[in-house]
Structure 1
Amino acid sequence: MTAPPNGSSHDLAHPQEQDLDLTQVLFALSDPGRLEIVRQLRDGPVEMAQCNLADPTVAKSTKSHLFKVLREAGVILNLPKGRGRLLSLRREELDRRFPGLLDAVLDAS
């Protein structure tokens, strides 16, 4: 899966695979809330509305910011799907760019 072309007003900017930066990816994965989201996406795409955090008191704006950091770092794709959005992990791109990194982070306790 590659980053989508930008053009529609519903498209969000996603970095291309060659532009993925290890520092930005590690930063995105360093936050417990963002890591929780990535773990939910490990087995496949999830509709944004169905992606929940363990702490139900997290504000919607905070949750949106978590998604934005992950998207801008190139960890997830956030694509329009009907009236909602579909989130997916950019596993293939991350594995090509940084072999073993994603599994090492996700498998850590």
Structure 2
Amino acid sequence: MEAPDEPGAAVTTATSPRDLAHPARDEIRLEGVLHALSDPMRLRVVRELAATGAEVSCSSIELPVTKSTTTHHFRVLREAGVIRQTYRGTAKMNGLRRDALDALFPGLLDTVLSAAEGQAARLNAP
């Protein structure tokens, strides 16, 4: 199977609870990405992933919501193709699919992140 972020790559389907389904790059839809980024908690996750530039565990991103709600937000981001989640031991690692998003929607992620930073500064929010 081709790497999931390669053009024409097949959708990665989950075959066990530790295998997480991800859309192939060609399956990522603009409306799904925009929906995923429209929630303040999910946008916060994406901002933190973009700032680190590396994979981080779910537990390293603190959100002011319950654990089940946090899990939901990560799932929405993964299913929209915004993040990639993989298990490393017992930790679920998360990474931004920047290459795929930049190839499909040039400038979108940088514009959204810049706007979110400006809004956070204006509202004095994290």
Q: TM-score, normalised by structure 1?
A: 0.90
Deviation per CA, 1:23-64: give whole Å up to 9, x if none.
0000000100000000111022111121112x2xx1111000
Q: CA deviation at 1:7?
A: 5.4
What SS does the corresponding residue of 1:14 show, helix, strand or coil?
Answer: coil
Unmatched runs of 5 consecutive residues or more in structure 1: none
Instruction: Report percent identity of matched pairs.
Output: 47
Larger Rg: 2
Distance in 2 of aligned mates of 1:25 and 1:7? 21
Distance in 2 of aligned mates of 1:35 and 1:82? 27
Higher relative contact order (CA 8 A, sep 6+): 1
Aligned Cα root-mean-square deviation (Å): 1.6
**Would the alpha carbon gap of residues 7 and 66 (structure 1) be closer, same or farther in structure 2, given more than 3 Å must change?**
closer
Q: CA deviation at 1:75?
A: 0.1
Q: TM-score, normalised by structure 2?
A: 0.78
Partner of 1:51: 61
Matched residue count? 106
Distance in 1 of aligned mates of 2:56 and 2:76? 17
Unmatched runs of 5 consecutive residues or more in structure 2: 6-10, 119-126
Q: Does 1:75 align with 2:85?
A: no
